[in-house]
Structure 1
Amino acid sequence: MKQIDKRALPFEYMGNSAKGCLLIHGFSGSPADMRPLGNYLKKRGYGVRALLLPGHGTKPQDLALTDWQTWYLAVETEYLKMSEDYKEVVPIGFSLGALLALYLSVKQNASQVISLNTPLFFRNEEYFVLKNPDCEYLSKQRSLAEKKRNQLLGRFSYEEIPVKAFQSLLEFKELLKTQLAKIKIPVLVVQTKNDGLVNPISAQFLYDSIKSKRKKLVWLEKAEHLLTFSDELPLVLEEIALFLAKSSGN
């Protein structure tokens, strides 16, 4: 059995509401990135589950053996399990998790969906497509200060990205673009303008492509990609609370 780092373990909070929230983390990250959001939703009475995507929480070599279909199946399975306990289940995804949450809303009868820093377009996509086809892993090249900060925050994230798995993510986002017009449920889109990874045009593209009658696009001015640990998180939490409190009508 693969040893999961204790910082990367999934978590769950039972709620006293008919609505549950399924939290989906990003590529090479872990549920720890969603814990600030999970703690907030718990205090507001919502049921919360944050799953660990396949290939995550162990070592990059495990992630290299997975693809978007594997990640989506895990999300869908967790969603269906949650649907047995809650009248409504709202997928809330960050980065890759946002792609998965949106695709889930196409395939399943989700009532609402929340998409945070959705990577429909990357800032340096040609870098990820790779000039060197023989390269198996890309280093994130974090600074020492960033590594220390991650330790203090209790984060778990791979320091290397398996190229094969990331290329599957790229394929997935292109597929999702062709499906966005099928989304008609209420959608909250949050995007940081200062995102160094995701091109902010992703958010406007998403907003314009979905056919929801109730949709909102929220821009953050200062936060970087990992908005769940940013100074602007309180604004995000407030927007999420308002969105969840409204009825699920289109």
Structure 2
Amino acid sequence: MPLLPGAEPYRHQGGRVGVLVCHGFTGSPNSMRPWSEALAEAGYSVSLPLLPGHGTHWRDLNTTRWPDWYATVEREFDLLAKECEQVFVCGLSMGSALSLHLAAQRGAAVSGLVLVNPLVRMPGQSHRALPLVRHLVPSLPGIANDVARPGVDEGGYTRTPLHAAHSMAQFTRVVQAELPQITQPLLLFRSPQDHVVEPASSAMLLARISSTDVEERLCERSFHVATLDYDADSIIQGSIGFIGRLSAPVEG
């Protein structure tokens, strides 16, 4: 199955500080590419992988589960860690959940987290029916393109595959249990007008983590995919400043 436009993974060999960037559920690297390219221009080594089942057709995603997505994130982190003295992790939505799981598993090897509209709590109550409904229908209407800026297409699926969605719901419970293990510095960007992830998700994250270096910034003009929206530049500049502040100086 050919890749959708913009779904190609992105990698840049830069300096001794690495940044792993994780896209969201049913999305692709397209939603994170401008951010990743800006990090590369700032001198960082960057890896933006395509998660399994994404970037082709929603039916492909229905054959994968959260351990498949996490295995790709973990592999790319290990590659960066071999090349870099520090590695930071950035994520959007479910990509944030994958980033948090990685931080819980790898501890101090993750130098810091930049999360945008993180999904750690499933919205509403309809997800409770997924164990049954996924065996009756393969998909429901998609969640892509929640963007305030006109003319933006994140390149996500038009359908939400339900077997994969059920796995994601299970994964959020894993991440919730791990939140007290999170001690890394955190910069969190949240859109008050998010039509995909509810405010309770970020609230739970902030209430349960053990990190002491934490900042939340609001993306007032953006919807869920804030990385392609009106506040994208604020996310880029904020993350570069955050990583720069926490990066150890490299001896020449």
Residues 129 and 223 from structure 1, CA distance in 2 versus in 1: closer, same or farther, beyond 3 angstroms? farther
Kept in 2, the 8 Å contact 1:102–1:115? The answer is no
Partner AA of 1:107 in structure 2: Q
Aligned counterparts of 1:53 and 1:27: Cα–Cα separation in 2: 9
Residue ranges of structure 2 left out of the alignment (5+ in a row):
none
Q: What SS does structure 1 have at the residue aligned with 2:233?
A: helix
Query: Counterparts in 2 of 1:120-131, with a 5 A limit?
Result: 120-126=120-126, 129-130=129-130
Please state if 1:88 is matched with 2:113: no
User: CA-to-partner distance for each residue in 1:60-114, whole Å, 9 max, x for gaps?
Assistant: 1110011111111111011101111111111111111000001000111211111
The match for 1:168 is: 167
Q: TM-score, with normalisation over the residues of structure 1?
A: 0.89
Give the letter for the 1:106 counterpart: A
2:110 partner amino acid: A
- RMSD of equivalent CA atoms: 2.3
Which amino acid letter does the alignment assign opposite residue 237 of structure 1?
Answer: I
Give distance in 2, aligned partners of 1:59 and 1:104: 26
The superposition leaves residues 115-171 of structure 1 with CA deviations (integer Å, 9 ceiling, x where unpaired) of 11111234434267458451211122879x99x934xx5x42111111010011011
Of 4-13 and 181-190, more deviation after overlay is shown by 4-13
The one-letter amino acid paired with 1:220 is C
Aligned 1:1-250 pairs, distance under 5 A: 2-15=1-14, 17-108=15-106, 109-126=109-126, 129-130=129-130, 132-133=133-134, 134-140=136-142, 149-150=151-152, 153=153, 155-247=154-246
Give the letter aligned to residue 71 of structure 1. Answer: W
What is the CA-CA distance between 1:40 and the residue it aligns to? 1.4
Contact 2:127 2:169 in 1 (8 A): no
Asked if 2 retains the 8 angstrom alpha-carbon contact of 1:185 and 1:248, the reply is no
Matched-pair contact (CA < 8 Å) for 1:112–1:248: no
Q: Secondary structure at the match of 2:221?
A: coil
Rounded Cα–Cα distance in structure 2 between residues aligned with 1:62 and 1:236 = 31
Q: What number of residue pairs does the alignment pair up?
A: 242
Where does the alignment leave 5 or more consecutive residues of structure 1 unmatched? Answer: none
Q: Deviations over 1:19-46 (max 9, x none)?
A: 1111110011100110110121122111
Aligned letter for 2:185? Answer: P
How far apart, in 1, do the equivalents of 2:164 and 2:143 lie? 18
| Structure 1 ranges of 4+ moved more than 6 A | none
SS of 2:224 mapped into structure 1: coil
* Mapped partners of 1:83, 1:141: distance in 2: 33
Q: Distance in 2 between matches of 1:18 and 1:60?
A: 36
